Amino acid sequence: MPLNMNAIGSPIGPMKRKYTWKDVVLYALGVGAGFSELEYCYEKSLKIIPSFAIAMIFDFLSQATVSAGANLAGVLHGEQELIFHNPIPPDGTLITNGRISNYYDKGKDKGALVMIESETRHDSGIKLFTSVATVFSRLDGGFGGEDRKTPPVAFPDRAPDVVVEATPSPDQPLIYRLSGDILHLHVDPEFAALSGFDKPIMHGLCTHGFACRALIASLVPGRPEQVRRLACRFSKALYPGIPIQTQIWKTATGKALWRTIDAATGQVVIDNGEFEYADIPKDEIRFDNRVAIITGAGSGLGRVYARELARRGARVVVNDLGGARDGAGSGSSSPADQVVAEIRAAGGQAVASYESVATAAGGEKIVATALEAFGRVDILINNAGILRDKSLIKMEPENWQAVLNVHLSGAYHVTRPAFRAMRDNGYGRIIMTTSAAGLYGNFGQTNYAAAKMGLVGFMNALKLEGARYGITVNTVAPLAASRLTEDVMTPERFERSKPEFVAPIVLYLSSDRCTESGNIYNAGLGFFNRAAIVTGPGKMLAANGRVPTPEDILANIEAISELDGSRHYPDINALIEDLFMVTQEGPPTAT
């Protein structure tokens, strides 16, 4: 049976799992804790090893694997990423909702990857953790899907900063399995032999728990609540009773890379480990497993969006052509490179893209950069922009067209391939950048105003197409100090208009907390309000089916122009329905 393609994106859950301090302690014992870490094993002032999260969603992952239609004889846990939003309380009920986000095809004899995403909340309502699990399904490859290439984690070229040694008990799987993973492979010698092993093997997730303890003891001793992210790939089976080493490299503030090796053979059993730690601010909006593309991010507003998103965990594509303010010049890689360097120096992840948004091929390449570097696209901020201001008579076609190419067509060129990738994942956040010049008018900017209002129309249609795939589309009209505004603001106003005062709403609209779609927001100086196209109450002039005359319009122009009591329509159909309702007079007859 091939993988079930219809399962992609369908909600799985809510799955509930009640737990008490005894489950917490049982897990801790299962991953090797004991008297030397009594805080994990004694209900008095109990602390929770964060990797406990994975034991608590084991049933959810099994259910998702079954929904995928994966051949259960060949499934292995491939990769696991856990992002912690709040510390796990010592008891309660965990509620998990998720879905299969995608399948990747490694080839007929090489297997397939089933990507499973979930979010788990405590019954008190607090969001606790996000899981991204990759199930490697050895027998399901060759279905004709795309492959996924994840770049290997680049371990520093030096000896590990810390090595933590441990020896799981020969009986370790017998304890660990009581936390939920009761697969035969870890207990039944005959089954293990049939699977090609000398004896039952360790659960990869049990070794993962050993590694999590080692990371906490080395980097945040006694403070497991500071673990923010734990990610890794399971690379080799391990027999119980064999000594292991968890090797740890500190790479930046709050970040480390790690792997666990079989100390007897030197083979890596868990690879590509990443670990992040810091105080967890309550309910912080995070982007940890998200990939964002920001066009025109080499300077001004885009640079601030990119830095802020990366600071909150997003992996970012910093696109910038590096041209002049009017778009002239062949472009330079340095603005994008500079922002990437800033993000990396602060411990974030980013790659540069120097393509122009002004061509369809450029748009495709920008999105391909995100997919190649990070495997997905969740957020697109269409921000690249140029100016060529002239009054209409002096506005030659090339100046008209150049501005439309970057702002309006540019958004189309990048949004189309990004939307495709988002649709495949059933999730996306798209931001358009309009301008008060378009919304309200500005002398000498017919090209710019037309392009910027074009983006509003683009959003209005795309919000409807995106709704069925979990994709929201919103528009921001910023006001900020940048090279585009340096000659239109006084120095005092320029100083007060830092792009940082615009970024909060762009980050909100880029987040999974945003449920709005199709809205326009003005943002500047820390002030935010909504702008909308509204429709006045109007006046019916076709009484008794008579076709009104231009003179009727003249006589009623005030009432027709009235905006008091106006409405905002979510789409064209709502407007048409309203029109037929308020004009229930039957079809007009010609006079």
- Residues designated as active site: 448
Site for ligand NAI in 391-410 (CB under 6 A): 406, 410
Task: Give the CA dihedral 265, 266, 271, 273, nearest 10 degrees.
Answer: 130
237 versus 439: smaller Cβ distance to ligand NAI: 439
Structure tokens at 463: 């919000």
**Cα–Cα dist 466/472, whole Å:** 6
25 versus 304: smaller Cβ distance to ligand NAI: 304
**Piece in contact with ligand NAI (CB under 6 A), picked from 86-94, 478-486, 508-516, 553-561:** 478-486
Residue 374: count other Cβ atoms within 10 Å of its Cβ: 23
* Residue matched to tokens 């080839």: 107
Smallest gap from residue 334 Cβ to ligand NAI (A):
10
Q: Which of 302, 308, 313 is nearest to 357 (CA)?
A: 302
Q: Which of 434, 411, 421 is nearest to 358 (CA)?
A: 411
Lay out the site mask for ligand NAI across 371-390 (x = CB under 6 A, - = otherwise).
------------xxxx----
Smallest gap from residue 353 Cβ to ligand NAI (A):
8
96 versus 319: smaller Cβ distance to ligand NAI: 319
**Piece in contact with ligand NAI (CB under 6 A), picked from 175-183, 213-221, 318-326, 530-538:** 318-326
207 versus 435: smaller Cβ distance to ligand NAI: 435
Q: Does 556 interact with ligand NAI (rule: CB under 6 A)? A: no
Q: Does 322 interact with ligand NAI (rule: CB under 6 A)? A: yes
Cβ-based burial of 283 (10 A; exposed 0-12, middle 13-18, buried ≥19) = exposed
**Cα–Cα dist 164/269, whole Å:** 15
In eight-state DSSP terms, residue 321 is -
**Piece in contact with ligand NAI (CB under 6 A), picked from 177-185, 191-199, 291-299, 391-399:** 291-299
**Residue of 50, 209, 296, 428 that binds ligand NAI (CB under 6 A):** 296
Q: Does 321 interact with ligand NAI (rule: CB under 6 A)? A: yes
Smallest gap from residue 515 Cβ to ligand NAI (A):
24
Enumerate residues 6+ apart whose C-beta is below 8 A from 293: 316, 317, 319, 353, 366, 367, 370, 377, 379, 380, 381, 414, 418
**Residue of 310, 430, 484, 506 that binds ligand NAI (CB under 6 A):** 484
Structure tokens at 90: 């010592």
272 versus 369: smaller Cβ distance to ligand NAI: 369
60 versus 305: smaller Cβ distance to ligand NAI: 305
**Residue of 141, 209, 273, 335 that binds ligand NAI (CB under 6 A):** 335
Smallest gap from residue 332 Cβ to ligand NAI (A):
9
**Cα–Cα dist 490/486, whole Å:** 8
Q: Does 318 interact with ligand NAI (rule: CB under 6 A)? A: no
**Residue of 50, 224, 240, 323 that binds ligand NAI (CB under 6 A):** 323
**Bond from prior residue into 548 cis (ω within 30 degrees of 0):** no
Smallest gap from residue 429 Cβ to ligand NAI (A):
17
Q: Does 301 interact with ligand NAI (rule: CB under 6 A)? A: yes
Q: Which of 312, 115, 291, 317 is nearest to 229 (CA)?
A: 312
DSSP 280-311: --TT----TT-EEEETTTTSHHHHHHHHHHHH
Q: Does 295 interact with ligand NAI (rule: CB under 6 A)? A: yes
256 versus 301: smaller Cβ distance to ligand NAI: 301
Strands 520-524 and 428-433: unpaired
**Residue of 320, 378, 389, 512 that binds ligand NAI (CB under 6 A):** 320
**Residue of 333, 442, 485, 535 that binds ligand NAI (CB under 6 A):** 485
Q: Number of helices (H) and strands (E), helices first, in the chain?
A: 17, 18
Q: Does 358 interact with ligand NAI (rule: CB under 6 A)? A: yes
Residues 568, 572, 575, CA angle at the centre, nearest 5°? 55
**Piece in contact with ligand NAI (CB under 6 A), picked from 35-43, 295-303, 561-569, 579-587:** 295-303
240 versus 298: smaller Cβ distance to ligand NAI: 298
Smallest gap from residue 351 Cβ to ligand NAI (A):
15
337 versus 562: smaller Cβ distance to ligand NAI: 337
DSSP 230-280: EEEEE-S---TT--EEEEEEEEETTEEEEEEEETTT--EEEEEEEEEE---
Enumerate residues 6+ apart whose C-beta is below 8 A from 81: 131, 132, 133, 229, 230, 231, 289
101 versus 482: smaller Cβ distance to ligand NAI: 482
Site for ligand NAI in 20-49 (CB under 6 A): none
HSE value, Cβ hemisphere, 13 Å, CA-based, for 369: 25
Q: Which of 431, 477, 494, 114 is nearest to 295 (CA)?
A: 431
Smallest gap from residue 503 Cβ to ligand NAI (A):
11
Secondary structure element (H or E) that encloses residue 189, with its range: helix 189-194
Structure tokens at 167: 């020896």
**Piece in contact with ligand NAI (CB under 6 A), picked from 40-48, 135-143, 240-248, 473-481:** 473-481
Lay out the site mask for ligand NAI across 107-146 (x = CB under 6 A, - = otherwise).
----------------------------------------
Smallest gap from residue 297 Cβ to ligand NAI (A):
7
Enumerate residues 6+ apart whose C-beta is below 8 A from 248: 160, 161, 162, 163, 164, 214, 215, 218, 219, 256, 257, 258, 275
Q: Does 483 interact with ligand NAI (rule: CB under 6 A)? A: yes
447 versus 472: smaller Cβ distance to ligand NAI: 447
Smallest gap from residue 306 Cβ to ligand NAI (A):
11
**Residue of 173, 273, 327, 363 that binds ligand NAI (CB under 6 A):** 327
HSE value, Cβ hemisphere, 13 Å, CA-based, for 183: 21
Cβ-based burial of 333 (10 A; exposed 0-12, middle 13-18, buried ≥19) = middle
Residues 307-324: b if buried by 16+ CB within 10 A, e if exposed: bbbbebbbbbbbbbbbbe
Site for ligand NAI in 418-457 (CB under 6 A): 433, 435
Contacts with ligand NAI, residue ranges (CB under 6 A): 295-296, 298-302, 319-323, 325, 327, 335, 356-358, 383-386, 406, 410, 433, 435, 478-480, 482-485
